[in-house]
């Protein structure tokens, strides 16, 4: 940025608010319509099984704690509350729609917050409608409004905190834009503390909200008006509130060898030894994958428009010498660029998941909405921009509708008797992983019944990976606990290591609790680990069975299944 000019003592000059009540009413109507349609979709004909992550969080919600191996307690508490409310409305047990209902609610709140934020920062009702229309073309937002992962509450908390921060620092009538403003020119302290609360709540779901304080510091460093607004002890007080809310989770981690911090560091490529040669070889692929994944979740055209809007915002900051007029642009850029830049740096040595920088899209879409509104109402020579905006929203919306209804192609392809291996759903179905999880439960239950003599308990179920164990626990009839032996066979530590395993000791008898029990084993095991750990643990193991899974006649995947008899305990040492 260029050096700012000295601030004069003239009263703050802000553009007049462009009032269009019909824009506000239309935006709210679209959000309510989306809320209702999402609920109808979930409770009537949603073809998407509960994902493995969602199943894992559901298991967490049954065993509430102040922390978990990879996340804070927020997501578990939310799902637990949803299940309790579901019981009040007659749901005897947790169901897929009940678990996902909070995601629909968070989406509505995030949408309303986005509209209010854009209206407020640009003082234009038309921009509030524009951001809602543009968001309809973002497939990643559609996913977040239906799938109950940590991103839904995190994004909502980020949105509310960002809105509160702007309400705290925005110029107000009667303020002076001097370098050292009078007392009434300071940030509104109550909005700062509200932002601190929302930040703290968001961190309990996903630590990405830790980006908010440094992003705000960057905004203050680049703009004298924002810096003078935030030069108050209340700013530190709000930060302290957010940090104090993390104390129980920090204490839990201290008692569990800081597992959450180590897991997050491992996901970011900071765990273990770093082999420089292999990192350099993977560098181009990781960077291109990061950029390509962000373009993909934005449906391509919107990603290009967003990049152009960021460039335009940077140029406006550089050209505008009035810090008050430049404040909105500096604020939006500071809330957008740091998070994307950070994950770009992470992509230099490790793979970045597409959803990791999702929080940056809140202010990024606000920036795009402001510029799109201005250009939409520009003279006729800018009509090309209108066409691209319409195309971007149309493409994104069509892709979203296709992803939510792609299962309709399965029976058609099955009736045509096309070679399913050549047309694997992995190539054309973005949600193929959510179409076979219920099938897994049915397949494993069938194997359990084939082993059962009709007397006594059904065979136990053991899975190699945490995700498979979690989804089976949700979709198996009766929802038995499914044991996971991932760390036992050489995999990383997971949440199942904090819960009693299959080799637990009965405190009354001092013997194995499940000694002599039969079990169904599923997963892909390294041959050495299977022979050294699995085989000695049972009196007899049947040969491997390959169980294919078909969705409406189309092959999805297969399960490796072993029938294990007479559990003796896993070898020690």
Last residue of a domain, one of 354, 382, 402: 402
Q: What is the pLDDT of residues 392-436, one digit of tens each?
A: 999 999 988 888 888 888 887 776 655 555 667 877 788 888 888
37 and 123 belong to one structural domain = yes
Angle at 250 between CA 247 and CA 253, to 5 degrees: 155
Last residue of a domain, one of 357, 379, 402: 402
> Is 535 part of any domain?
yes
Side-chain half-sphere exposure of 401, counting CA atoms within 13 A: 10
Tens of pLDDT, residues 217-242: 999 999 998 998 898 899 999 999 99
Same domain, 238 and 96: yes
Q: Supply the pLDDT for residue 350.
A: 82
Nearest to 373 by CA among 75, 115, 552, 547: 115
Residue numbers of the chain with a pLDDT score lower than 50: 1-12, 177-184, 273-278
Residue 342 falls within a domain, yes or no?
A: yes
Identify whether residues 368 and 456 lie together within a single domain. no
In a domain, residue 422? The reply is no
Collapsing DSSP to helix, strand or coil, 30 comes out as helix
- Helix ranges (H only) for 347-465 are 360-376, 383-405, 409-415, 425-428, 437-451
* Residues 444 and 362 reside in one and the same domain: no
Evaluate whether residue 157 is within a structural domain: yes
418 part of a folded domain: no
Query: 442 and 387, same structural domain?
Result: no
Residue 364 and residue 468 in one domain: no
What's the pLDDT score for residue 380?
65
Our CA angle for 358, 364, 369, nearest 5°, is: 130
Total structural domains in the chain?
Answer: 2
Task: Answer whether residue 159 is part of any domain.
Answer: yes
- The three-state (H, E, C) secondary structure of 268-281, written as one string: CCCCCCCCHHHHHH
**Per-residue pLDDT at 573:** 60
Burial tier of 287 (Cβ tally within 10 Å: 0-12, 13-18, 19+): middle
pLDDT for the residue numbered 324: 87
For tokens 């929080």, what's the residue?
A: 359
- Local structure of 298: helix, strand or coil: coil
Q: What global pTM score does this model have?
A: 0.91
Q: Give pLDDT tens digits for 524-569.
A: 999 999 999 999 999 999 999 999 998 888 888 899 999 999 999 9
Look at residue 8 in the predicted model and tell me its pLDDT. Answer: 40
pLDDT of residue 436: 85
Burial of 367 per CB tally in 10 Å (0-12, 13-18, 19+): buried
**Same domain, residue pair 313 and 166:** yes
Number of H-type helices and E-type strands within the chain: 24, 6
Same domain, 372 and 485: no
Assess if residue 518 is contained within a domain: yes
- In a domain, residue 411? The reply is no
pLDDT value for 409: 82
Domain that holds residue 382: 21-256+280-402
């Amino acid at each position: 940025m260029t050096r700012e000019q000295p601030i004069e003592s003239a009263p703050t000059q802000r553009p007049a608010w462009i009032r269009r009540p019909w824009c506000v009413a239309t935006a709210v109507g679209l959000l309510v319509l989306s809320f209702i349609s999402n609920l109808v979709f979930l409770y009537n004909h949603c073809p998407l099984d509960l994902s493995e992550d969602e199943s894992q969080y559901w298991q967490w919600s049954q065993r509430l704690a102040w922390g978990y191996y990879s996340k804070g307690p927020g997501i578990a508490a939310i799902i637990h509350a949803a299940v309790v409310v579901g019981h009040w409305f007659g749901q005897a047990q947790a169901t897929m729609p009940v678990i996902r209902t909070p995601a629909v609610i968070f989406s509505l709140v995030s949408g309303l917050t986005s509209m209010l934020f854009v209206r407020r920062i640009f003082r234009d009702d038309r921009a509030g409608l524009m951001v809602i229309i543009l968001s309809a073309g973002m497939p990643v937002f559609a996913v977040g409004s239906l799938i109950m992962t940590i991103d839904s509450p995190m994004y909502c908390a980020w949105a509310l905190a960002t809105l509160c921060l702007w309400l705290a620092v925005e110029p107000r009538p009667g303020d002076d834009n001097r370098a050292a403003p009078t007392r009434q020119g300071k940030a509104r302290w109550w909005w700062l503390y509200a932002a601190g609360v929302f930040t703290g709540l968001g961190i309990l779901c996903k630590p990405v909200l830790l980006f908010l304080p440094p992003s705000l510091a960057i905004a203050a460093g680049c703009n004298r008006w924002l810096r003078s607004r935030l030069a108050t002890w209340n700013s530190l007080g709000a930060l302290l509130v957010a940090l104090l809310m993390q104390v129980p989770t920090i204490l839990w981690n201290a008692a569990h060898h800081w597992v959450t911090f180590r897991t997050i560091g491992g996901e970011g490529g900071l765990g273990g030894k770093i082999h420089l040669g292999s990192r350099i070889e993977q560098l181009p692929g990781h960077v291109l994958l990061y950029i390509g994944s962000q373009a993909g979740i934005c449906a391509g055209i919107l990603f290009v428009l967003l990049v152009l809007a960021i460039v335009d915002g940077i140029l406006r900051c550089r050209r505008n010498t009035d810090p008050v007029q430049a404040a909105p642009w500096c604020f939006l850029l500071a809330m957008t660029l740091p998070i994307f830049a950070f994950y770009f740096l992470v992509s230099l040595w490790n793979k970045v998941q597409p959803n990791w920088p999702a929080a940056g899209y809140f202010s990024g879409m606000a920036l795009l909405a402001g510029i799109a509104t201005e250009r939409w109402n520009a003279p006729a020579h800018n009509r090309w921009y209108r066409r691209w905006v319409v195309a971007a929203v149309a493409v994104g919306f069509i892709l979203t509708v296709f992803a939510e209804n792609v299962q309709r192609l399965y029976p058609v392809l099955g009736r045509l008797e096309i070679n399913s291996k050549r047309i694997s759903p992995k190539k054309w179905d973005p949600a193929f992983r959510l179409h076979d999880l219920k099938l897994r439960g049915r397949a494993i239950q069938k194997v359990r019944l084939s082993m059962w003599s009709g007397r006594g308990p059904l065979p136990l179920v053991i899975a190699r990976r945490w995700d498979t164990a979690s989804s089976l626990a949700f979709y198996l009839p009766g929802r038995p606990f499914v044991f996971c032996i991932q760390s036992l066979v050489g995999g990383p530590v997971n949440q199942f290591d904090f819960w009693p395993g299959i080799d637990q000791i009965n405190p009354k008898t001092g013997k194995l609790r499940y000694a002599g029990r039969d079990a169904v084993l599923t997963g892909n095991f390294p041959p050495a680990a299977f022979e050294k750990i699995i085989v000695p643990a049972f009196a007899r193991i049947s040969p491997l069975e390959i169980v294919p899974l078909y969705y409406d006649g189309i092959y999805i995947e297969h399960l490796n299944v072993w029938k294990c008899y007479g559990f003796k305990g896993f070898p020690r040492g």
